[in-house]
Amino acid sequence: MYRIIAFTLGKPIVTIRQGAIILFLALCFLYPDNAGWSKDLLPREPDLSTRVDELYDHEARLFFMLYSLKGDGKVDYVTGRSVQAHARSNFGNPIYQTEVNPLFYWWNHTMWNDPEEDGVNGNERVYQENVEFDISRYKPCAFNGQPC
């Protein structure tokens, strides 16, 4: 049956099975509940009608699309696509050749990474939690209360 792993006055204290259960429960309580796993599942990329802005990061070569899922104009979902090439149109407008699907997502104070760049399908990994997308890095100034 079970081997006894501890004795007190000839009586078993804990069996191997009980010891394994105790160890498992102890480890569950020692590690935080969000060790690499977000409690919420990442929603699919929103419809373009909810997009409120777009940005290009020259250093990281990422094209960001900022969405307002609630429709209140506040950014609450961001995607970051790898840029393969960029140019200017005849009218001076930027043109970006990007990957079809994002490499990064920001949603619900969590940054997600999708190294396969295959869209939201459940294989995304939490990259960092409790992080906000810092739009001031790309639009740092305000003039008369108006964002630049």
**For 8-48, how does the pLDDT look when each residue is reduced to its tens digit (9 = 90+)?**
555 556 566 665 566 565 555 555 444 444 457 899 999 99
CB atoms within 10 A of CB 26: 10
End-to-end CA distance of the chain: 73
Question: Looking at residue 105, what is its pLDDT?
Answer: 96
Question: Looking at residue 89, what is its pLDDT?
Answer: 92
pTM (2 d.p.): 0.68
* 79 vs 42: CA distance, rounded Å: 12
Question: Looking at residue 139, what is its pLDDT?
Answer: 75
Question: Looking at residue 138, what is its pLDDT?
Answer: 79
- Window from 19-28, 44-53, 92-101, 138-147 with minimum mean pLDDT: 19-28
* 99 vs 103: CA distance, rounded Å: 8
Question: Looking at residue 1, what is its pLDDT?
Answer: 47
Q: What is the mean pLDDT of residues 112-141?
A: 89
